[in-house]
Structure 1
């Protein structure tokens, strides 16, 4: 059973957060292990599994990026161990950013670091905006168009994952 089915809500990149929280609290009460201490071991195990499922569902569905990855998995677009090929133009842009970071190893420049941070933030902001538009469209189009949008959303997911590594490098430089 997937998390959306468990919470009895429609699959969405943007689940209603009030409903998610409400279902979490409702199921937390229903499946709290303390209420089943006098039950048979098998029933206690079942309740513990349901309680764990509830906690995991809430952790995923209450976090935007985790929900995005989860929906992509449900739709068969995100596969474990998948090697995703990022577009060449994006990789070229990232190569320039990485080269600038490598230069900082030998010749640190605080102004250049700020410039790189702003560049990365702008790239991320553009990707976020594009993904918001894709997700908004996804929620209201036919099945055929959804497949195309899923591919775009997946591409942005992997681009942002790549940018996360660059942001981690920027944090290392910022802490020096």
Structure 2
């Protein structure tokens, strides 16, 4: 099985032309439609079925920016289970502070305080997005960064974002009182 980018014959990239991706997906969906191969030998039918499945999986993964990022990082062996996924300590400290403030609000709810924490987490998220954008845009042609360093930066961004999303979920739960 070729990797999803090779399958679609496009360079590995974090930012894709979504329209082009979709039209390739439709083109391959038609090309690998099992009905066209109904009279072919069993193994040909099996092969077409595999290609059709790979097309669906590739499109599902590549059309979603977060899944695409996760896929690229996994392809480069950077998101291994039990691998070193540590985050910078200053970021973790900041997140621990936010989590503590949220825990306090569970016992002593304060809407203004919750709003403030929400603003803070959105600010951190916006900053993350801003910082990573130039890396995503230029990848893998990065001046002054090797491909490995760039991927490392994307990995850190990805893990930070996952962490922040968990905090934002807690904020949303508190806000709706569920």
TM-score range for the pair, normalised by the shorter chain length? over 0.9
Shift of 1:93: 0.2
What residue is the counterpart of 2:11 in the other structure?
10
Contact between 2:79 and 2:85, CA under 8 Å: does it hold in 1? no
Equivalence for 2:119: 118
* Alignment gaps of 5+ in structure 2: none
More deviation, 84-93/27-36: 27-36
CA drift at 1:144: 6.1
Q: Which ranges of structure 1 fall in alignment gaps of 5 or more residues?
A: none
Residue in 1 that maps onto 2:136:
135
Report if aligned partners of 2:135, 2:142 keep a CA contact under 8 Å in 1: no
User: How far did 1:27 drift?
Assistant: 0.3
TM-score calculated relative to the size of structure 2? 0.91
Runs of 4+ residues over 4 Å off in structure 1: none
Question: What is the aligned partner in structure 1 of residue 171 from structure 2?
Answer: 170
Corresponding residue of 1:80: 81
For this pair of structures, how many residues does the alignment match? Answer: 176
2:118–2:171 Cα contact (<8 Å) kept: yes
CA separation in 1, counterparts of 2:153 and 2:69? 12
Q: Is 2:82 aligned against 1:43?
A: no
Q: Which has the higher contact order (CA 8 A, sep 6+)?
A: 2
Task: Give the superposition deviation at 1:120.
Answer: 0.7
Q: CA RMSD in A?
A: 1.7
